[in-house]
Amino acid sequence: MGLARYVVLRVVWAAVVSLVIVTATFVLMAAAPNPAIQEAATQAALEGGDPQQAVERERELRGLDEPLHVRYLDFLTSIYTLEWGWSDHRSQPVTEALVEGLYYTAQYSIPWTVLTVLIGPLVGVYSAANMYSWRDHAATAFAFFGYAIPNFFFGIVLLLLFGVWLDWIPVVYRTDVAVFSLENARQLALPVFVLVTGSIGAVMRVSRNESAEFRDATFMKTAKAKGVSPFRAYAYHVMRPTLVPLSTTLVSQLLAIFLGSSLLVEVVFGIPGLGRLTFEALVAQDTNLVLGATFVFTFVAVIGNLLEDIAFSVLDPRISYDDR
């Protein structure tokens, strides 16, 4: 079957992409001066020792005296075996720190992704079905508002309004509440809302415009002539072809928000997730942790693009798998 072969090829390609990224990272790291070595030299000079000797000792200690290809293979092995080193700033292994961050990031990322995927296309197709009605105009206004307003700013405004003035939701994020609890839902409501607002706009617009095209297609007349009800016609004959171009927008929007805005939103709402972890690691110049977090984001992007391509091929029966 062509599809299975295509998926396998696409997965292999994704693996190659990840290898390229890891290699590029290694090259950059090898070319850049290592702050730990500088520090050792400074330390030795301050203590009256020989800076040159200290540098050599430090290089030996960190394995930097090995030939480049050996260091590259070591680097590859450790990356792909998930041995991503020690985080000086968090005093724990990098992977452990990342898993902790992911735990909090997932708690709001999963809800907003699910909400965007469910609500966006539905509202978009509804808008197309009722084009230029006040509901359509309201949806359009909401879409552009969410698209235009910076997420972190919107988050601050909402926090001020609902957290400080109205006092409906807690201002300080608490990590000691259960994941599936009302308290957790309350403290995550705003970040989820902010991110849904940011991501759903493009999804709504694309679903609306794509389905507007299919709404007037001849096959909709065929459906009507067959006796298909308007609801069924939209649910099957419009929604299904709309999903093909929409899958692209959906994945890219979710990725863009996940990789960019979630960092800012975590800082605004004080969620100790991946975004804030990265931010703090940057400030503390914790190279290993920054590297690890970057890898996580990169791999998410690679996997997202992989899923997007596969979804596109599965959804559009006209795509041939053989000539790509």
Partner 1 sequence: MTDEPLLRVEDLTTTFETDAGRLVAVDGIDFSVEAGETVCLVGESGSGKTVATESITRLIKEPPGHIEGTVRFEGRDLADCAEPELREIRGADVAHVFQNPQDALNHCYTVGWQIAEAIRIHEDVGRSEARARAIELLGRVGIATPGARIDDYPHQFSGGEKQRVMIAMALSTNPDLLVADEPTTALDVTVQAQILRLLDELKTEYGMGVLFITHDLGVVSEIADRIVVLYAGKVMERGSAADVFERPSHPYTRQLLGCLPGIGPPSAGGIPGTLPDPTDPPEGCRFAPRCEHAVEACFEGGQPEAVERSPGHRVSCIHYHDGYDESVLGEPPTRLGLADPKAEEDTRTGGDADDG
Residues that bind partner 1 (CB under 8 A): 217-219, 221-229, 236-237, 240-241, 244, 315-318
> What is the Cα–Cα distance from 292 to 177, expressed in whole angstroms?
27
Cβ at position 241, least distance to partner 1 in Å = 5
Nearer to partner 1, 167 or 322 (CB): 322
Cβ at position 72, least distance to partner 1 in Å = 47
Joined together, the tokens standing for residue 161 give 């309004």
Nearer to partner 1, 144 or 219 (CB): 219
Nearer to partner 1, 102 or 310 (CB): 310
Residue 31: count other Cβ atoms within 10 Å of its Cβ: 7
Q: Which residues of 237-246 are buried (b: 16+ CB within 10 A; e: fewer)?
A: bbbebbbbbb
Specify the 3-state DSSP secondary structure of 270: coil
Nearer to partner 1, 177 or 315 (CB): 315
Cβ at position 250, least distance to partner 1 in Å = 17
Nearer to partner 1, 224 or 324 (CB): 224
Nearer to partner 1, 168 or 236 (CB): 236
Residue 72 and residue 79 in contact, taking contact as beta carbons nearer than 8 Å: no
Residue with tokens 């290592």: 34
Residue 117: count other Cβ atoms within 10 Å of its Cβ: 17
Residue with tokens 């709001």: 108
Residue 287: count other Cβ atoms within 10 Å of its Cβ: 20
Nearer to partner 1, 69 or 318 (CB): 318
Cβ at position 240, least distance to partner 1 in Å = 5
> What is the Cα–Cα distance from 129 to 127, expressed in whole angstroms?
5
Cβ at position 15, least distance to partner 1 in Å = 31
> What is the Cα–Cα distance from 277 to 271, expressed in whole angstroms?
9
> What is the Cα–Cα distance from 240 to 209, expressed in whole angstroms?
14
- DSSP H or E stretch at residue 117: helix 94-129
Specify the 3-state DSSP secondary structure of 156: helix
Please give the distance of CA 101 from its chain centroid, rounded to a whole number: 13
Cβ at position 316, least distance to partner 1 in Å = 7
Cβ at position 223, least distance to partner 1 in Å = 8
